[in-house]
Amino acid sequence: MAPVLPLVLPLQSRIRLAQGLWLLSWLLALAGVLTLLCSGHLLVQLQYLGTFLAPSCPFSSLPQVALAAGAVALGTGLGGAGASRASLDAARYPPWRGILGPLLVAGTAGGGGLLVFALGLALGLPVSLDKGLEEGLGTALVHYKDTEVPGHCHAKRIMDELQLRHHCCGRHGYKDWFGVQWVSNRYLDPSDQEVVNRIQSNVEGLYLTDGVPFSCCNPHSPRPCLQSQLSDPYAHPLFDPRQPNLNLWAQGCHQVLLDHLQSLASTLGSILAVTFLLQALVLLGLRYLQTALEGLGGVIDAEGEAQGYLFPGGLKDMLKTAWLQGGVAHRAAPEKTPPEEVPPKEDLPEA
């Protein structure tokens, strides 16, 4: 059977291959470190911003898979650097002969699979991020008032920090606060007729106002922040409700978070693509170097040409051989039949 993609490697080519692999392996290790740092940063961001994602949103799986892929890439790069450097010395290479095989299998199956999976998540999951933020931010607005409800005690603080830190207001704009009750019942006077009228005017019995929390205020505004009666053009002199950006954050938190997380995912996806390319080059080079040195008994400076290859036989021949071996192994052995008895020859009378 002819080997798959054979490559003739004379002495100088083997040496240059080993030296180039040493450099590529360190670049792969560096890419693995960058993958770990970028995915770790995204994971830290999601520990805070994950509150505003729907529980069913799978976006949080991206940094976890990328962390595993980065760790395998780092290990493959360090292993490849050690093996390629040891291959230049006949005395140091023998211990690596038994390590290169498992390293190639782990790097191809584990590292390659994880990198492809993580790269697919980086390209595909931002589509589901839009829906996850839509649902998560809507839930955050609803629970803003539940400062004394177990499980939602910190909802107000987290939402205020989000709006102050990212300069946003509401889900898609400041008017989103008009449709939810964001004032806790604890601070409403049940004897106040205005409060009673507002609650009774709503089908769901909510206290709705045309106001926003203080965290929506823009500190760069030249006038004090206006938080209530924002839809009444006569409530505040010299205030135009059609231009709220002079007083409140104009952009909704949905678009701000979507742009922020998609930017992090895009950066991580670019690093994963570079890491995948480097890992493929390192694994291919290590395989050619391994097979070439095995043909020379593990000595890189042996005289003559060596042949490197990916597989010892063609894919078709390998599958055919495996099929035939499997068929022979599962084929029932024929039953042994006793030999037929030969009738004795009759003695003929002599003439």
pLDDT at 108 over 90: no
Determine the Cα–Cα distance for residues 174 and 214; give it in Å rounded to an integer: 11
CA-wise closest residue to 119 among 193, 38, 197: 38
Token representation of residue 117: 């999976």
Q: What is the pLDDT of residues 29-58, one digit of tens each?
A: 999 999 999 999 999 998 888 889 888 888
- The answer to whether residue 73 scores a pLDDT higher than 80 is yes
- Amino acid identity of 160? D
Strand ranges (DSSP E) for the chain? 7-9, 306-308
Q: What is the mean pLDDT of residues 251-258?
A: 92
Do 193 and 162 contact (CB within 8 A), yes or no? no
DSSP class per residue in 271-318: HHHHHHHHHHHHHHHHHHHHHHHHHTTS-TT-SS-EEE-SBSS-HHHH
Residue 4 in this model has a pLDDT that exceeds 50: yes
Residues 1-24, mean pLDDT to the nearest whole number:
74
Q: Which amino acid is at 146?
A: D
* Residue 14 host element (H or E): helix 11-49
Residue-averaged pLDDT of the chain: 78
The 8-class DSSP code of residue 207 comes to -
pLDDT greater than 80 at residue 20: yes
Residue 334 has pLDDT above 70, yes or no: no
Q: Of 131, 133, 153, give the one whose Cα is nearest residue 143.
A: 153
Residue 324 has pLDDT above 80, yes or no: no
Residue 239 or residue 130, greater confidence: 130
For 265-316, the pLDDT digits (tens) are 889 989 988 998 998 898 888 888 777 777 666 566 566 666 666 666 655 5
Residue 205 has a CB neighbour count (10 Å cut-off) of 9
Q: Taking 90 as the threshold, does the pLDDT of residue 59 lie above it?
A: no
Report the pLDDT averaged over residues 131-159: 87
- What is the arithmetic mean of pLDDT over 1-22? 72
Q: What is residue 171's predicted lDDT score, i.e. its pLDDT?
A: 93
Torsion of Cα atoms, 309 then 312 then 317 then 321, to 10°: -160
Positive or negative CA dihedral for 171, 175, 177, 181?
Answer: negative
Using the Cα atoms of residue 20, residue 22, residue 28 and residue 33 in order, give the sign of their dihedral.
negative
β-strand partners of 336: none
Output the CA–CA distances (angstroms, integers) from residue 249 to 10, 154, 216, in the order listed: 68, 22, 6
pLDDT above 90: percentage of residues in the chain: 21
Please give the single-letter amino acid code of residue 207.
Y
